[in-house]
Amino acid sequence: MNYTSTRDINISVKSSEAIAKGLSFEGGLFIPESIPKISLTNIKYMAEMSYRERAKEILGRFLTDFTDEELNKCINSAYTKEKFETDAIAPVYKMNANQYILELWHGPTCAFKDMALQILPHLMNVSVKKQGLERETVILVATSGDTGKAALEGFRDVEGTKIIVFYPEDGVSSIQRLQMCTQAGSNVFVGAVNGNFDDAQSGVKKIFTDKEYEKELEKKGKALSSANSINWGRLVPQIVYYFSAYCDMLKAEEIQPGEEINVCVPTGNFGNILAAYYAKCMGLPIKKLICASNKNNVLTDFINTGVYNRNRDFYLTSSPSMDILISSNLERLLYMISQDSAEVAEYMRKLTEDGKYEVSPKIKTTVSENFYGGYADEEKCSGAIKNSYEKYGYVIDTHTAVAVSVHDDYVKNTGDNTKTVIASTASPFKFNGDVLASLESKEGIQDLDEFRLLERLSEKYDLRIPKSLADLEEKEVRFEMVCDKNQMRAVISEFLMN
Ligand SMILES: *Cc1c(COP(=O)(O)O)cnc(C)c1O
């Protein structure tokens, strides 16, 4: 199977080239030319399989130029019990009669980014080799939190790669800072940049577009690459867990073979929910895809009106990984429905120039047939955390709470009681302050530092602190460098010399 670009139908490349390159040269995103189908018989077989075997079934249908051996190696390196603290990798927890929580946060950094970033480095390594490139891949990331740490954990000690992460000196939580500054691995570097996230981000962007620097690195056999969610190698592993959740529900006889479920996803960049849409197009019995946003509800409006408009206020919320106004992966959905790269290129031009676009009636209709859009403000999010615990004894994080709240509204508004898989994207320990403030009160916890918050959540709610967070207080700090934005290139060069 080959891959084309959302902005140029004439492009056709193998999956290894799509993954090695990341982005098509004219700015479009790589996308499979056709969608492989999986029959109900196949799904029933998969119900008897382990997560790793299920992953092979799905990935094998998309990465057709990978050998069995290559795929097995990637999958077996990524999805281990050691890294995910459970052999189920992504277990499903039945919270009540129609809400099933898909726990995507058992990986090393306690957020769902691990599901893709644990395997992406291996897929990239194989892809680069298959392309006959001798290069060393240097991953460069600017992070406001979750992605940086997940990328560090994924790429550390993976041969043929180095990873450099910059985070804003003012703009990450103390847990997040510690998680990064204590990072293990022989091929990693972490630096703080004076300023906020925009400073770190614009510094990294400048380096990515510096042609002269690119040539300089090329001479040394190195190429910069990004680990962000537009790479197909990050999206395709996310399709697996929707199949896996359905298979688990079949196996537990919670559903009958072929029975339709709904899926509800707390959404930011539209990657996670797009993976669910792929699963649906492949044949997984999904009725509605419920897209849950926080107060930054640009996607809710898009689904309801067909107009995407980023010209609006930006809010900082307690679900920071969803504080996004441009959802990059939406471009792939527009292409999947329109099948017209010129039309998509025009929408993207309008988005850059005017900050908004309106889609065709065809896209609008297909979107509203498949998706439901809703959002939860801070009060509703907090209420969902409290309610889930008080009614069902289950503690959820702030991102998952947005999804639970939107799903509750969906059921109220539509009367649709279909069993629903709710994607749970972070462990409550990762956002312990906001979770405890919702369960108890802000005043009650204001004197507790991050580690006392972990203990409080664990002791009072009978939850086990994830190992990676529990160990943090004792870990040695390896990276303490702080630099200015304009020193970033020099810092990178120095690290790469060693
Ligand atoms: C990244 C992230 C999201 C948003 O996922 P998208 O694929 O960008 O829509 C939601 N929750 C958490 C905890 C995340 O880290």
What does the pLDDT look like over 396-443, one tens digit per residue?
A: 999 999 999 999 999 999 999 999 999 999 999 999 999 999 999 999
* Residue 71 Cα distances to 78, 79, 347, 353, angstroms: 11, 12, 36, 41
Q: How far is the CA of 98 from the centre of ligand 1 (A)?
A: 23
- Tens digits of per-residue pLDDT, 22-74? 888 888 999 999 999 999 999 999 999 999 999 999 999 999 999 999 999 99
Please tell me the distance from the alpha carbon of residue 229 to that of residue 251, in angstroms, as a whole number: 31
Residue 322 burial (CB count, 10 A): 25
Ligand 1 pocket mutation, candidates 399, 400, 402, criterion most atoms within 8 A of CB: 399
Provide the pLDDT for residue 233: 95
Please tell me the distance from the alpha carbon of residue 444 to that of residue 436, in angstroms, as a whole number: 9
CB-ligand 1 contact for 151 (6 Å cutoff): no
Kindly tell me if the per-residue pLDDT of 489 is higher than 90. yes
Token pair for 238: 């996310």
Provide the pLDDT for residue 174: 77
Closest protein CA for atom 15 of ligand 1: 321
Provide the pLDDT for residue 186: 96
- Tens digits of per-residue pLDDT, 61-86? 999 999 999 999 999 999 999 999 99
Provide the pLDDT for residue 145: 72
Please tell me the distance from the alpha carbon of residue 150 to that of residue 475, in angstroms, as a whole number: 17
- Tens digits of per-residue pLDDT, 284-339? 999 999 999 999 999 999 999 999 999 999 898 999 889 888 888 999 999 999 99
User: What residue has token string 């107060």?
Assistant: 295
Contacts of residue 209, Cβ cutoff 8 Å, sequence gap at least 6 = none
* pLDDT, mean of residues 271-285: 98
Q: What is the reported pTM?
A: 0.95
Provide the pLDDT for residue 273: 98
Kindly tell me if the per-residue pLDDT of 279 is higher than 90. yes
Token pair for 438: 């919702």
- Tens digits of per-residue pLDDT, 78-129? 999 999 999 999 999 999 999 999 999 999 999 999 999 999 999 999 999 9
CB-ligand 1 contact for 276 (6 Å cutoff): no
Give the residue extent of every domain in the chain.
Answer: 83-109+233-429
CB-ligand 1 contact for 267 (6 Å cutoff): yes
Kindly tell me if the per-residue pLDDT of 195 is higher than 80. yes
Where residue 187 falls among pLDDT bands split at 50, 70, 90? very high
Which fold would CATH assign to domain 83-109+233-429?
Rossmann fold (3.40.50)
CB-ligand 1 contact for 332 (6 Å cutoff): no
Kindly tell me if the per-residue pLDDT of 170 is higher than 80. no
Q: How far is the CA of 488 from the centre of ligand 1 (A)?
A: 27
Q: What is the largest CA-CA distance in the chain?
A: 62
In the three-class reduction of DSSP (H, G, I as helix; E, B as strand; rest coil), residue 483 is classed as strand
- Taking a C-beta distance cutoff of 8 angstroms, is the pair 283, 37 a contact? yes
Q: How far is the CA of 266 from the centre of ligand 1 (A)?
A: 7
Where residue 267 falls among pLDDT bands split at 50, 70, 90? very high
Kindly tell me if the per-residue pLDDT of 133 is higher than 90. no
Provide the pLDDT for residue 146: 80
Closest protein CA for atom 8 of ligand 1: 269
Where residue 198 falls among pLDDT bands split at 50, 70, 90? confident
* pLDDT, mean of residues 376-395: 98
Query: Any idea which residues carry the catalytic annotation?
Result: 113
